[in-house]
Amino acid sequence: MSGDGEWRQELDDKQLEDVRGLLVAVRATDGRPEVEPEGALPGEFDGGEHLVACVEGEVVGYAHLDTTGDSFGHQVAELFVHPAHRGRGYGAKLLQAVDERAAVGFRIWAHGDHPAARKLALKVGFERKRELLILHTDVKGADWPEPRLRDGVSLRTFVPGEDEDAVVRVNARAFDWHPEQGALTADDIRADEARSWFDADGFFLAEERGQVIGFHWTKVHEATPGRFDGERVGEVYVVGVDPAAQGGGLGRALTLAGLRYLASRGLRQIILYVEGDNAPALAVYTKLGFTRHETDVQYGR
């Protein structure tokens, strides 16, 4: 196995299409990543460094290294092997390349806690550092009441070009503990506004005295064969509340607003991601009817 070059900061047009083809094949087998048939790769592959692995001119694997790292300074990697070329040691070679390239203390994702990824990680001495749970609920039969807001607080929807900075300010305060979410920037939001899934009508802001104090950003995923019954699925993408405004059920009200909106779009299933050790959030979502569906794991030394 060889790369079609070395680690690169950018993919040329051919490499981009090669990587897209590989990721589409991976998605057809594993249900992820959420790659589009054309256009930019998913946001998690923006920036950083890329390695495309080839055998006799055929792309068999791809690795991405986020060199900026998460909010705690850990570089974060992902690697993928084409389903038609698995079981031949290419994953181990890609992991070795990542290990040699990445800074000490890097983390690597295993989406869906895939058994092969788990086996490989443990074989090279990695251990589970973080669990990100995917919770799921059926819309049918759900009884989500209208959100109740305390006096002086109102809800409205996001206005592109006007609300990015306000959301970033709340987000930074709400997620100063979170490895990825706490690093959100206004440019990140603007980049997502250009993506096909972005929907300002499903982006709810809570205001008090003219200031944004919380938000619920929803998302809709297109159907993926073999995942969620091959249906489109809604997501409670991000719910953030300024710590100074917590209490009075604001987080619950924002969550309900988004859930009711996703249900109004005819979606039959809704998911969300939550840290495995976030007991308070798990308790809230359990009361709203969510149950554990999948687990993503970060491994590291």
Strand 269-275 to 233-241 pairing: parallel
Model confidence at 5, in pLDDT bands (50, 70, 90)?
Answer: low
Instruction: Report residue 139: phi and psi, to 5°.
Output: -70, -40
- What CATH number labels 135-295? 3.40.630.30
CA dist., res. 53 & res. 1, Å (int): 7
- pLDDT for 114 equals 85
- pLDDT for 178 equals 86
Model confidence at 72, in pLDDT bands (50, 70, 90)?
Answer: confident
Write out the binding residues for acetyl-CoA.
79-81, 239-241, 246-252
Mean pLDDT for the stretch of residues 237-252? 91
Distances, alpha carbon 112 to alpha carbons 225, 280, 294, 296, 299, in Å: 16, 23, 6, 5, 13
**Burial (CB count <10 Å: 0-12, 13-18, 19+), residue 53:** buried
For the stretch 142-194, pLDDT in tens is 989 999 999 999 999 999 999 999 999 999 999 998 888 888 999 999 999 99
**Residues near 161 by beta carbon (within 8 Å), at least 6 away in sequence:** none
Which residues make beta-bridge pairs with 135? 272, 292
Q: Which two tokens stand for residue 130?
A: 């973080």
The CA-based dihedral angle spanning residues 166, 168, 172, 178, taken in that order and rounded to the nearest 10 degrees: 140
CA dist., res. 188 & res. 168, Å (int): 10
Task: Give the CATH architecture of domain 2-125.
Answer: 3-Layer(aba) Sandwich (3.40)
Query: Which has the closest alpha carbon to 201: 268, 262, 272, 153?
Result: 262
* 238 pLDDT above the threshold of 70: yes
DSSP 83: G
Distances, alpha carbon 57 to alpha carbons 2, 5, 85, 101, 110, in Å: 9, 12, 13, 23, 27
Tell how far CA 127 is from the center of its chain.
21
* 3 pLDDT above the threshold of 60: no
C-alpha angle 201-206-210 in degrees, rounded to nearest 5: 115
Model confidence at 2, in pLDDT bands (50, 70, 90)?
Answer: low
181-187 own/partner pairs: CB under 8 Å, 24+ apart? 181/238, 181/240, 182/71, 183/70, 183/71
Cα dihedral sign for 196, 184, 219, 28?
Answer: positive
**Residues near 39 by beta carbon (within 8 Å), at least 6 away in sequence:** 196
Residue 177 has, within 13 A of its CA and on its CB side, a CA count of 6
Q: What is the largest CA-CA distance in the chain?
A: 67
* 59 pLDDT above the threshold of 50: yes
Question: Domain ranges in the chain?
Answer: 2-125, 135-295
CA dist., res. 101 & res. 205, Å (int): 41
Model confidence at 4, in pLDDT bands (50, 70, 90)?
Answer: very low
- pLDDT for 86 equals 94
The CA-based dihedral angle spanning residues 82, 86, 90, 95, taken in that order and rounded to the nearest 10 degrees: 80
CATH topology identical between 2-125 and 135-295? yes
For the stretch 7-49, pLDDT in tens is 999 999 999 999 999 999 999 898 889 888 887 788 889 899 9
Write out the binding residues.
79-81, 180, 219, 235, 239-241, 246-252, 273
With a pLDDT cut of 70, the percent of the chain lying above it is 98
Mean pLDDT for the stretch of residues 276-290? 92
Mean pLDDT for the stretch of residues 227-253? 92
Whether the link from the prior residue into 33 is cis, omega within 30° of 0, is yes
- pLDDT for 289 equals 94
**Is 201:157 a contact under the CB 8 Å cutoff?**
yes
